[in-house]
Structure 1
Amino acid sequence: MRYEGNIFRPFSEARSYLLQCTIGCSHNQCTFCGMYKDKQYRVRGLEEIKTDIIMAKNYYNDLEKVFLCDGDAIAVDTDTLLEILGLLYSAFPSLRHVGSYVGPRSILNKSMSELTALRAAGLTKAYLGVETGDDRLLKDIRKGVDSREMLKAGRNLVNAGMNLSAMVLLGLAGRGGGSREHALATAGIINAMRPHYLAALTVTPVPNTILFRQVGSGQFTVPDAFETLEEMKCLLENITIDNLKFVGSHASNYLPVSGTLQRERQKMLDTVNSVLESRDKRFLRSENMRGL
């Protein structure tokens, strides 16, 4: 397979064939993100992509899952995406899942009819970095949209019939920077958006990012493990929608907690509360075991 630069995917796409449709991310300005900094954004030519699909067909013969790389493949022109999806489903008879990272601005740039057409053509899952529901923080991290626009982007995906996985960042407000407000606003936007999955990650300063430099200059103080767990607790207490798969097992998290809301909420809260009460670091991931 041919790839340009470092390749990233959600951990749930571990068994997917990775098809690079864009080089880099169309936004690539988020202060915390260290992905795609080695690339200049561009959309790959359709003939290049067709050749990669043929190569994958020759190598795998058949596939069940494909993930479209890099960041925000949905930014590709809709007609081109539809052709790519058609080629994939023609090449792989067992294909049942095609996922992609999606940026909020790129979603908003597509009409509902375009999103519905992409779903009908087989784009089954979208991974949206919501990060927070707090407008001040969305501006601080240079997400490119406010909470109203982020909510609309997420709802458009859900209404188009896509399986939406929303991602949020614990600790994003920093120490003494409105942690509870961040958690409550995030719970609020998730309740309104109604994704199928919610992945909670913990903010981790990555070298060569704006956030890393802010930490070095004292502009941002990273919360400790227990402060981020307080945010997780607040999320679990204030998310009210049913049958939401809460995934807190990412490597960046100090305490892996996952389950289905609301059915397993108390069990997850009991786990978090027990660690918060004991303040025993032996129950936490060590720093050298964490990472984005």
Structure 2
Amino acid sequence: MRYEGQIYRPPGEWRSYLLQCTVGCTHNKCTFCGMYKTKKFHIRPMKEIIEDIAMARAYYGAENVDKVFLCDGDAIVMRQEQLLQILEALYAAFPNLRQVTTYAGTRSTMTKSQEQLNELRKAGLTRAYLGVESGWDELLLKVNKGVTSAQMIQATDMIKEAGMDLWLMVILGLAGPGEPSKKHIQETIRVLNRMQAQHVSCLSYMPEPNSPMYQDVKSGKFKLITAREYLEETRALVEGLNYGPFHFTSNHASNYVPLKGTLPDDREKFLAMLDSALEGKSRIRGEHTRAL
């Protein structure tokens, strides 16, 4: 397998075969993100991608791959015939393959028609990961997300209509302390309740050296929220999400209290864990642990 630059994947794809279809991110302007700042977006030649699939079959064994993640960011932006060719080659190479997933940017998703997304799902694209980050339009504009909450809702509606499994990510602490923190969570709850994804994951904002926001943190222009405020944001989110059942995680290395389960079933357990931490009755992860 050949990879260009550093490769990123969702935590849940830790045992997936990572097939690099695109390099970088089509947008790559979010101020909080440093993942693809050293890469210029381009689509890998199809000849190389198909060769990599054959290399993976020879290396792992045809029977030993059941999950594949298409990376880097926004593989869904590829031409329809390219994606269909990749899916056909993957399912032909790996007879036990049951899941093919990808990051799906809002704008990239909306370059497809509903019929095209339906076709991709029928061909075996089973899950799409979409970074919501926040439901607050003012904050989305501030961090240069490049889309509005209404556009993200439209994209997620299309993904769900196609029958794909939808996994959303939000970033705690992205708005900073005080009233912006409350508005960020309030609007994120509104948007997530509208989207009704099968999976929601929360990460806590941690400055990445390659990102513009890192410089704002260093200069004092952007204030990080406290551990208590992170817990309060998490608690408000757990309490405010009112659909279900859906898979909820806040167990990334950046989170102070690891949560993993199903809402609303585990709501009271999660709230009790968060309240215990807020009251100082249980330990939380330290800064050095969160950075691992």
TM-score, normalised to structure 1, is 0.97
**2:189 alignment partner in structure 1:** 187
1:213-272 Cα offsets, whole Å, 9 max, x none, are 111222210101110110111111110011111111101111111221111111101100
Partner of 1:51: 51
Cα distance in 1, alignment partners of residues 80 and 249 from structure 2: 30
2:136 match = 134
Secondary structure at 2:6's aligned position in 1? coil
2:248 to 246, 256, 278: 246
Counterpart of 2:97 in structure 1 is 95
- State the partner residue of 2:265: 263
Q: Distance in 2 between matches of 1:291 and 1:145?
A: 29
Identity level (%):
49
Q: Distance in 2 between matches of 1:178 and 1:52?
A: 46
Asked if the contact 1:85–1:122 (Cα under 8 Å) also holds between the matched residues in 2, the reply is yes
Q: Secondary structure at the match of 2:100?
A: strand
The alpha carbon displacement at 1:291 in A equals 3.2
**Contact map agreement 2:196 2:244 (CA 8 A) in 1:** no
Which SS does the other structure have where 2:279 is aligned? helix
Kept in 2: contact 1:251–1:290 (CA 8 A): yes
1:99-154 deviations in whole A, cap 9, x for unaligned? 11111110111111111111111111111000010000110111110110011111
> Given residue 57 of structure 1, which amino acid in structure 2 is its aligned partner?
R
Counterpart of 1:5 in structure 2: which amino acid?
G
Q: Unaligned regions of 5+ residues in structure 2, if any?
A: none
The answer to whether the 8 Å contact 1:155/1:194 transfers is no
Q: What secondary structure sits across from 2:130 in the alignment?
A: strand
Q: CA RMSD in A?
A: 1.1
**What are the within-5 Å matches in structure 2 for residues 47-86 of structure 1?**
47-62=47-62, 63-86=65-88
**In 2: Cα distance, 1:55 partner to 1:177 partner:** 52
Task: List aligned pairs for 1:1-292, cutoff 5 A.
Answer: 1-62=1-62, 63-278=65-280, 283-291=283-291
Structure 2 residue matching 1:39: 3-state secondary structure? coil
Shift of 1:72: 1.1
8 Å Cα contact 2:68/2:101 also seen in 1: yes
Task: Give, as a single letter, the amino acid of the residue that structure 2 aligns with 1:225.
Answer: A
Distance 1:250 1:33 in 2: 16
Distance between the aligned counterparts of 1:260 and 1:129, measured in 2? Answer: 20
Instruction: Name the CA distance, whole Å, in 1 between partners of 2:28 and 2:174.
Output: 18
- 1:199–1:248 CA contact under 8 A, matched in 2: yes
User: Aligned equivalents of 1:99 and 1:290: distance in 2?
Assistant: 27
- SS of structure 2 residue aligned to 1:178: helix
Query: Please, what TM-score do these two structures have when normalized by structure 2?
Result: 0.97
1:166 and 1:128 map into 2 onto residues whose CA distance is: 5
- Aligned letter for 1:59? Y
CA distance in 2, matches of 1:259, 1:53: 34
C-alpha distance in 2 between matches for 1:102 and 1:288: 31
Q: Paired residues, what number?
A: 290
Q: Does the CA contact (< 8 Å) of 2:2 and 2:52 recur in 1?
A: yes
Provide runs of 4+ in structure 1 moved above 6 Å.
none
CA–CA separation in structure 2 for the residues paired with 1:24 and 1:291: 24
